[in-house]
Amino acid sequence: MPAVILLMIVVALVLLIACVNVGNLLLARGIGRQREVAVRFALGASRMRVLRQLMTENLTLCAAGGIAGVFVCYASNRLLEAAIPALPFGEMLRLELPLDFRVLLYSGLVIENK
Residue 39 lies inside a defined structural domain of this protein: no
Residue 83 lies inside a defined structural domain of this protein: yes
d(CA 20, CA 38): 27
Report yes or no: 57 and 30 within 8 Å, Cβ to Cβ: no
What is the domain count for the chain? 2
Looking at the structure, tell me whether residues 15 and 56 fall in a common domain.
no
Looking at the structure, tell me whether residues 58 and 89 fall in a common domain.
yes
Residue 8 lies inside a defined structural domain of this protein: yes
Residue 96 burial (10 A CB sphere; 0-12, 13-18, 19+)? exposed
The pLDDT profile of the chain, 114 residues, written as one tens digit per residue, is 677 788 888 888 998 898 899 889 888 988 989 999 999 999 999 999 999 999 998 889 888 988 898 898 888 888 877 777 766 665 666 667 777 888 888 877 776 665
Looking at the structure, tell me whether residues 52 and 94 fall in a common domain.
yes
Range of the domain at 16: 1-32
Residue 40 lies inside a defined structural domain of this protein: no
Residue 106 lies inside a defined structural domain of this protein: yes
Residue 103 lies inside a defined structural domain of this protein: yes
Residue 68 burial (10 A CB sphere; 0-12, 13-18, 19+)? exposed
Looking at the structure, tell me whether residues 15 and 58 fall in a common domain.
no
Looking at the structure, tell me whether residues 27 and 60 fall in a common domain.
no
